[in-house]
Amino acid sequence: MSNDKMKVAIAGMGAVSMPVAQWLDSGVDGLELVAISANDKVRAADRLKDFNTPPPIVDIADLVDMADIIVEGLPPALFFDLAVPAIEAGKTLVAVTVTRLLERPELLDRAAETGARIIVPTGALAAFDAVKAASKGTIHSLVMATRKPPAGLVKAPFVIEQGIDLSNLSEPMCLYSGSVRDAAAKFPANVNVAVALSLAGPGPDNTSYEIWADPAVTRNTHSVTLDSDSTHLEFTIAGVPTEENPATGKLTPLAVIATLEGMVSTLKIGT
């Protein structure tokens, strides 16, 4: 492996970004943490004070010029503030808030022109390799259902706009049933894994999705059924929510870490 390290910057300091930053700070062959963005730089500096080598804390706009790889862990509203300049600069963007990509598909064409790469980790899901492989043949149907504790859905725009009270649910409530594309607009921070799954398979218009607020579950639970000419696949994964943000599972930052590791490892398992 080359001694040259790839420079990594991280946008955000939330439930996804901080574990990734801590991992990079511990020392990773081939990767170097060079910057983190934050709005509240004083608070951010306090959170980084125990790092072995605290990186500079900068604005989102400054990240692109500092790194080869930019990890996005932002609120949905800020996604394009990073994605657009990163793509224009031909950088590698590791995107977590993948729902926003559906709003501007022209960014994929622009990335092809600038040489940028957009890499989407598996996040809180599994079996992307199988779905992606099946998509090279014919997928007859791809269906996903998500059940989350109500606390993980109370801030969803659709729930707020509809005035849905999830505080005292006694039984599961189906909040949405339809295509992944429509779900992405209604739940921009909750359906990133469904969007990623659809992009690995037949696309957001041809992937069916349900999202439930379920007081009986304590984990973010996703069930997927795939039927194709090459395989039939069914699985359920129940992720442990993070303490910082119940809408985000603990597996998501670990998936980002595995993605970054795969960029520099001499052995890479899976596509």
Residues 224, 213 contacting (CB under 8 angstroms): no
DSSP 222-243: EEEEEEESS-EEEEEEEEPBPS
Does the active-site annotation cover 222?
A: yes
Is residue 85 classed as helix, strand or coil in its secondary structure? helix
**Within 10 A of 45 (CB to CB), how many other CB atoms are there?**
12
Exactly one of 91, 100, 147, 222 is catalytic; which is it? 222
Q: Which two tokens stand for residue 94?
A: 């590791």
Euclidean distance between CA atoms 77 and 258, whole angstroms: 26
- Which residue in this structure is represented by tokens 């041809």? 206
List the catalytic residues. 222
